[in-house]
Structure 1
C-alpha cells in the first residue's frame, strides 16, 4: 500500500541536509496504536537476527534551496512525501497513519509545523513481469568486511559486478520474512544510465554516512515479487528512507 502526502506550511520547512531520520520519526510518531508502533519498531518481520520493518519512503519532493554552510535544506511548500507499506501485513499501518494525521492539528517534521494539504493512494497493479522504474529514494547496498578488528562497509554501485548477487541475497531475506514463496531466480535489475559518479549520494543517517544511488532501472521478475519491492523497497535500509521507486513505464 502506498500514499502520496502533500504538506504545506506557513513558512519554509528547514531541515538538516540529511533528514531521513526525521521522516522516519514522523512515521513512527503517527502510528496511533501503541502496540503496533512498538512491534514494528522493535521486532518487525524477523529472519534469524535480521529485523525488517517492511516499509519505505521517498525523499521530500518540492522546491528547495541548499545551504552547505549551515548544512541545511530549505523547502518551499508544498512538498510531497510518499509512504509505502507491505500490504499483506496483519496490520493496516498506512491507514492508521493517514487517519491519525488527518485528525492531528499539531504535526511536525523536525521542528517544522506542517499541515496536510492532500492525500492520494498510489497503489500499482503489476500485470507484467518487466517495468521501467525511477528511484525516488536512492538504492543502498553494501558488503561488510572485517579489517583490523573493525567492520568496514563497502558501498556497492549498480554497475559493480557484486550488485546482482547482493540484490539477490537481500531479496531472499525479504521473501523469507514475508512468509511467501516468490521466485527470485529470474529477478534482474539493470541501470539504464551509464556509470555516473553523480548518481551516488553521500547521505547521513544518525551517526553514519552511507553512499546510495539514484537513477532509472529496468526490473524484471515475478509479478508478486515486484509488488513486494514496490511496497517495501529495493536493497537495504528501506525503513530508513532508501530503495523507494516509482514505476514510469
Structure 2
C-alpha cells in the first residue's frame, strides 16, 4: 500500500539538506499517536523494518543560499502492511503539523503542515519492470582492511552491490511473510542516470545512489521491493521506488 502526502511549509525558513532523519522521526511520532502498539513493535524490533518513504518532491522550489526552500512539496510513504499506512494516516490527521530543522544544531526550525493524504491505487507488478529511485538506494558490505572487517558502502559500479541487493530483498521477504519466496529470481539488466549521493543520518554519512534500472524477476519479489523498498535502511528514507511511466 502506498500513500502520497502533500505538505505546505508555513514558515519562511528553508530546511536542512539532510532532512531524512527528521522525516523518519516524524513518522514514528505520528504512528505512536494513532497506534502505540504498532509503534512499539517497530521501535523494539531488531530485524528489518517494512516501510520506506521517498525524498521530498518540490512543487515550487525556491532558490536559497543555504538549505532547501519551498512552499509546497509531497512525498510517498510505502509499506506492504496496510495497518501501518492506515495508522500513520490516522496519526497525521490527529496532529498535522511537524517541524524540520534548518541548521545542523536544530535550533532553527521550519513549520510544515500536512495538507492532504491520498491512498494510491495498487500497482500491477509483472516479471519485468523499469524503476527509478525516488530516494537513494543504500547497500553496504564488509571487507577486510588492516586485519579487521570494516563496513564499506557500495555503488552500482561494484558487482557486489547487486548481489547484496538480491540477498537483502530475499531475506526481508522471508522475515515479513514467514516463508521463502517460491522463485527468488532477481536480476538488474540495465541501469541509467546513476547519481552518487552522500546523506547524513544522525552522525553518520551514507554513500548511496539515485538511479533508473530495469529488472527481471519473480513478481512477488518485485512487488515486495516496490512496497517495502530496496536495499538497506529503508525506514530512514532509502530505497523507495517508482515505476517509470507511473505518477
Q: Which TM-score band applies after superposition, normalised by the shorter structure?
A: 0.7 to 0.9
| Pairing partner for 1:81 from 71, 75, 79 | 75
| Offset at residue 127 of structure 1 (A) | 4.4
**Structure 1: any 5+ residue segments left out of the alignment?**
none
Secondary structure of the corresponding residue to residue 91 of structure 2? helix
Deviation at 1:81, TM superposition (A): 1.3
Q: Deviations over 1:64-101 (max 9, x none)?
A: 5464xxxx52231211111111237xxx0111111121
* Distance change (3 Å), C-alpha of 1:227 and 1:214: same
Counterparts of 2:25 and 2:77 in 1: how far apart (Å)? Answer: 13
Report how far residue 146 of structure 1 moved: 4.5
Which stretch of structure 1 is more off in the superposition, 95-104 or 145-154? Answer: 145-154
Listed as ranges, the gaps of 5+ residues in structure 2 are 102-108
Please provide the CA RMSD for this pair: 2.1
- Find the aligned partners of 1:144 and 1:21 in 2 and give their Cα distance: 24
Task: Work out whether residues 41 and 53 of structure 1, in 8 Å CA contact, stay in contact via their aligned partners in 2.
Answer: no
Q: Aligned pair 1:59/2:55, yes or no? A: yes
* TM-score, scaled relative to structure 2: 0.85
TM-score, length of structure 1 as denominator length: 0.85
1:214 is aligned, of 210, 213, 216, to 210
1:38 maps to which residue? 40
Distance in 1, matches of 2:125 and 2:27, equals 30
Aligned to 1:28: 28
Pick closer, same or farther for the CA change 1:181–1:30 going to 2, 3 Å: same
Name the counterpart of 1:6: 6
Structure 1 Cα separation of the partners of residues 202 and 144 of structure 2: 22
Q: Deviations over 1:102-136 (max 9, x none)?
A: 23254334433222222222243324211111100
C-alpha distance in 2, partners of 1:184/1:212?
Answer: 28
Counterpart position of 1:189: 188
**2:139 counterpart (135, 138, 141):** 141
Aligned to 2:106: none
